[in-house]
Structure 1
Amino acid sequence: MRPASFEYHRATSLEHALELLGEFGENGRPIAGGQSLVPMMNFRLARPGHLVDINRLPLDAIEIVGPVLRIGALTRHIAYLDDPWIARHFPAFLDAVHYIGHPTIRRNGSIGGSISHADPTAELPAVSVLYDADIVARSVTGERRIKAQEFFLSAYVTALEPGEMVVAVEFPIPPASSTGSFIELGERSGDFATASIGISLEHGGGKVVRAAMVCCGADLFPMRAPDVEDFLVGKSLADPPAAEAGRIFAASIDPVDDHIASADYRRGLIAELTHRAIEAACTRALDKS
């Protein structure tokens, strides 16, 4: 299929892009790599009347700004693989990058596009929720920061308002005594995930001091698992009750049946991925100790 007709505009600056998006409101969308938006348009699931090309804007830096790692919205997925800050501080993020689509998607897709698209199976929304990131949005009226857990409202639905655009994602830098892991399973490599689990742990004295967990596949948006997070605190890194944690989480969710997998299959898969992700994170913590 072909997309519905639209008008194309090339933004020459961030201010120009925001002016255009403010003028077009709900009928305008920014576009960079187009790896999510263009397929939606081709199937006529999205019909913006105006596309604002933001590729020339200086929004592709990965930098430490005070206590956060700030990633510009136009940073391409392939850039994360070689970034020393992500490798040092965000191991679950680095794991997740290897599951993102195919080489073409990794070369052209951007973090701002992935976050704004809010696919419930996507890796970067999950990572932003796992690490308590702030989504930085701009419009002609100013800038606001939205907590990742409050940003994703449902499948493909976010807290962005008409005329707003994601300009960066800010990840608080975890303590040195932290590590993590991210595991997902899809039908084939590069396909949308059937389910995924991310874990971030702070540790000391051979035990878990703080835990965070995110899941995709149990709801229409990435969801945290506070019961599992609380359960893991104080547990041994050498012998974590990972299987029990998986059972606790699986008992708390109500995944949907669809053409990919039944609810029962998803529940069992999520329990197993939780088990594996916790064990992987604890093994990394022991290796760092």
Structure 2
Amino acid sequence: MRPATFEYHRATSLEHALQLLGEFGEEARPIAGGQSLVPMMNFRLARPGHLVDINRLPLNAIEIVGSMLRIGALTRHGAYFDHPLIARHFPAFLDAVHYIGHPTIRRNGSIGGSISHADPTAELPAVAVLHDADIVVRSAAEERRIKASEFFVSAYVTALEPGEMVVAVEFPIPPAASAGSFVEMSERSGDFATASVGIVLEHEGGRIAKAAMVCSGAGLVPIRAPDVESHLLNRALNDPHAEEAGRIFAASIDPVDDHIASAAYRRSLIAELTRRAIETACSRALGRS
């Protein structure tokens, strides 16, 4: 199919892009790689009257700003793989990006596009929720920061207002004594996830001092696991009771049946992925992998 008729605009600066988005309001969408938006337009699931091309904007830096790792919205997925700041501080993030799509998607897709698209099975929204990231959004009038846990409202629905666009994602830098892991299962490599689970933990004296867990594929937004996080506190890194944690997480979710997997299968899969994620993170904390 072909998309509905639209007008194309090439933004020459961030201010120009925001002015165009503000002028056209709900009829406008920014576009960079177009890896999600263009297919939706072709199927007429999205019908923007105006596309604002933001590819020329300088929004592709990965840098430390204060206590945060700031990633510009136009940073392409391929840039994460060999970036030393991500490798040093964010092992769960680095794990997750290896599951992102296929080479074309990695080459053209951007973090801002993935976050704004809010696919409930996507890796980067889950990573943002896992790390309690701030989504930095701009309009012509103001800049605001939205916690990832509040940004994702439902499947493909975010807290963005008309005239706003994501300009960066900011991740709090974990303490040195931390580790993480992200695991995913899909029908084929690069396909949408059937389910994924990520963990970040802080440790002291061979025990877990703090933990954060998330899963995607079980609901309309990435789901945190406060019961599992509490269960892991003060557990020994060499015996974190990971299998029990998986059962707790699986019991707390209510996935739906779809054409990919039954609810029962997803629940059992999340239990197993939880076990694997915890054991991998603990092994890394102990310096074994």
Q: 1:260 matched to which residue of 2? A: 260
| 2:108 counterpart of 1:117 | no
Superposition RMSD on alpha carbons, in Å?
0.9
After superposition, where does 1:23-62 map in structure 2 within 5 Å?
Answer: 23-62=23-62
* Per-residue deviation, residues 142-194 of structure 1 (Å, max 9, x unmatched): 10000000000000000000000000000000000001000000000000000
How much has 1:239 moved relative to structure 2?
A: 1.2
Q: 2:185 matched to which residue of 1? A: 185
The separation in 1 between residues aligned to 2:288 and 2:161, in whole angstroms, is 43
Letter in 2 for 1:59: L
After superposition, where does 1:268-283 map in structure 2 within 5 Å?
Answer: 268-283=268-283
Letter in 2 for 1:176: A
| TM score, norm. by length of structure 2 | 0.99
* Per-residue deviation, residues 68-121 of structure 1 (Å, max 9, x unmatched): 000000000000011101000000000001000001100100000000000000
| 2:140 counterpart of 1:140 | yes
How much has 1:209 moved relative to structure 2?
A: 0.4
Identity of aligned residues (%): 82
Q: Give 3-state SS (helix, strand or coil) of 1:35's partner.
A: coil
| 2:255 counterpart of 1:249 | no
Q: 1:286 matched to which residue of 2? A: 286
Q: 1:153 matched to which residue of 2? A: 153
After superposition, where does 1:75-224 map in structure 2 within 5 Å?
Answer: 75-224=75-224
The separation in 2 between residues aligned to 1:233 and 1:42, in whole angstroms, is 48
Letter in 2 for 1:155: A
How much has 1:217 moved relative to structure 2?
A: 1.4
How much has 1:235 moved relative to structure 2?
A: 0.2
| 2:11 counterpart of 1:14 | no
Letter in 1 for 2:126: A
Q: Give 3-state SS (helix, strand or coil) of 1:48's partner.
A: coil
The separation in 2 between residues aligned to 1:252 and 1:169, in whole angstroms, is 29
How much has 1:229 moved relative to structure 2?
A: 0.4
The separation in 2 between residues aligned to 1:45 and 1:124, in whole angstroms, is 22
Q: Give 3-state SS (helix, strand or coil) of 2:80's partner.
A: helix
How much has 1:288 moved relative to structure 2?
A: 7.2
The separation in 2 between residues aligned to 1:238 and 1:104, in whole angstroms, is 40
The separation in 1 between residues aligned to 2:78 and 2:112, in whole angstroms, is 14
Letter in 1 for 2:128: S
The separation in 2 between residues aligned to 1:213 and 1:112, in whole angstroms, is 22
Letter in 2 for 1:70: R
The separation in 2 between residues aligned to 1:207 and 1:240, in whole angstroms, is 9
Q: Give 3-state SS (helix, strand or coil) of 2:286's partner.
A: helix
Q: Give 3-state SS (helix, strand or coil) of 1:287's partner.
A: coil
How much has 1:28 moved relative to structure 2?
A: 0.2
Aligned residues: 289
Runs of 4+ in 1 over 3 A off after TM superposition: none
